[in-house]
Chains A and B, each alone.
Chain A
Amino acid sequence: MTEGFLLLVEIVLFAALLLAVRRASQGPRSTNLGIFSYRSSEDEASDVKVAKGVNKRA
């Protein structure tokens, strides 16, 4: 029962990934992978600046 449910979840998630990849292949710079989207490079760059204290107000 649990095994069957997990298998269903696995197949649904993997299908979602494949469909997202297919969609993203139309815009190579896209970060939109549906539920599996990743944080954009700009977000990460600003995180680093915050960590380094660049954005701190004097």
Chain B
Amino acid sequence: MMFGALFLFVPLAFSNAFSGYLLWGWAGLIAMNSYLNGFMVSVPFAQLFALLTLAALLLGNGDRLERIDFNRTAVLMALFVLQGFFVALFAYPGLGRNWELFSNVAKTVLFCLLMPMLVTSRYRMHALVVMVVLAISFHGALDGLKFIASGGAHNARGIAKFGDNNHFALVLLMVLPLIYYLFVHSARLAAKIGFGLVLPLISFAVVATASRGALIGLVVIVAWILLKSRNRMIGLVLVAISAAVVVQLAPVSWSERMETIKSADQDDSFMGRVEAWKVSSAIAVANPVLGGGFRAVQSGEVWTKFRDQPGLLGFLDIPTNSVRGLAAHSIWFEVMGDTGFLGFLLFVALFVNGFFTRRDIQKSVRVRGREDLQWAIYLSDMLWASLLAYLVSGSLLSAAYFELPYILLMMLEVVKQQVISDGFGTKRRSATLPVPTTNVNV
């Protein structure tokens, strides 16, 4: 099936750079190889479509390779990847995934840097959102259906690319606001029904992962969407119905596991995370500029070296019981230990910048009185909801180098650039309307 589809996809990618770009993103997010057999398992789809996109850009098929737009987000991402190169270069010896993780970050940033060049109109932005939703919701829809078919007994584990059930839940959570955006803004009834059906399926899949962090993230997303919704009462009723369905369908083991959120300080799994945070921060204190290297905290040698050092969490009276390296279990401590305080600051700056980018979009649309750009406000709210879910649930997971948050951050930036330059608009900007000065880029 996929082999047959390649006969359509490859010529499309080569003849139109933006189609190639969508294929590149889709192939990376869907991790098609996990579902294929035989020789197709080893086909590097993402690399193939990345090369076809770059070739199409160089040849001017659809779009031309122009100067990269170094906006604020792009500068921060470029600095993060540049610092990451030196981190990987000067890492502690024997880190199994050091260069692999750096390479993943570099490829993600390349994808993001090309986005302002290729996503130059509203239909392209909409297509990009659809691509992300199609790629991620595919995994969730499957588990959502299994959850219903098994009467709530199904345990969703996800695929190897995402990691364990907690990582899988995080990815699904992040796509929920985007599905909601498409549900609201789709013009065709069939698409509305489709996205409307996928929304509960993905929510069921999140429940099926039995991830406690995801439950917290889900609450944050729902609260944010309700806060930004025009029809809060209808939203509240829908949330109440969904919660009742989940409680009815979910097995007792799920409720028992969620109950343990209240007693995290007595939970071995949680205390193991605190140990890993302590060691990660100790690595950063010893290597503030370049950290210990990608996934340094998981190396037995590095762990042994730092396990008795207090780091930044010396005030916590917790002995380090583990004798082998553990996963960082927090995007913040993961970046801190891996890339030092410099990398940590750049990582934090990326999300702070994302927050201000969303604010700039909303301010710009409102100051200009552009009611035809309401969708841009809505999209920026939903993108920020996804990022909020990542920041909250990711605080307990090693997911700092997953590509989706970087893609969403750059999507926010592209929406901002286009709103300012009126690239998305259908009307010409009136000369009498003031142009906000806060939106000037670096």
Contact = CB atoms under 8 A, between A and B. Distances in A.
Given A11-B5, A41-B426, A29 B121 contact: yes
Contacts of A37: 186-188, 191
B45 to A, nearest CB: 12
Interface stretch (B75-83, B126-134, B214-222, B328-336): B126-134
Given A33-B123, A37-B188, A38-B185, A10 B30 contact: yes
Interface stretch (B11-19, B279-287, B346-354): B11-19
The winner among A14, A30, A45, A51 for most chain B CB atoms within 10 A is A14
Interface in A1-47: 2-4, 6-8, 10-11, 13-15, 17-22, 24-25, 28-31, 33, 35-42, 44-45, 47
A6 B35 CA distance: 11
B233 interface: no
A44 B81 CA distance: 39
Interface string B116-152: 0000111110110011001000100110011000000
A33 B127 contact: yes
B371 A18 contact: no
Contact of A45 (B121, B138, B230, B372): B372
A15 to B, nearest CB: 6
Contact of A6 (B18, B120, B138): B138
A15 B130 CA distance: 12
A41 B188 contact: no
Range of interface residues on A (Cβ < 8 Å): 35 or more
A24 B374 contact: no
Contacts of B191: 35-37
B235 interface: no
A37 B12 CA distance: 20
Q: Identify the interface centre among B19, B35, B62, B371: most chain A CB within 10 Å of its CB.
A: B371
Contacts of A36: 126-127, 130, 186, 188, 191
Query: Which of A2, A6, A11 is packed against the most chain B CB atoms within 10 Å?
Result: A11
The range of chain B's interface size is 35 or more
A13 B134 contact: yes
B126 A38 contact: yes
Main secondary structure of the interface of B (DSSP, over half): helix
Tell which of A2, A29, A35, A48 has the most Cβ of chain B within 10 Å: A35
Interface in B147-196: 185-188, 190-191
Of the candidates A17, A21, A51, the one having the most CB atoms from chain B within 10 angstroms of its own CB is A21
B121 A28 contact: yes
B47 to A, nearest CB: 18
Contacts of A42: 372, 426
A28 B125 CA distance: 12
A31 B372 contact: no
A40 B134 CA distance: 22
B55 to A, nearest CB: 17
Given A7-B35, A41-B373, A17 B22 contact: yes
Interface in B1-33: 1-2, 5, 8-9, 12, 15-16, 18-19, 22-23, 26, 30
B375 interface: yes
12 contacts: A2-B146, A3-B142, A8-B1, A19-B12, A21-B124, A33-B126, A33-B127, A36-B130, A41-B373, A41-B426, A44-B372, A45-B372
Interface of A: 2-4, 6-8, 10-11, 13-15, 17-22, 24-25, 28-31, 33, 35-42, 44-45, 47-49, 51
Interface of B: 1-2, 5, 8-9, 12, 15-16, 18-19, 22-23, 26, 30, 35, 62, 120-124, 126-127, 130-131, 134, 138, 141-142, 145-146, 185-188, 190-191, 230, 371-375, 425-426
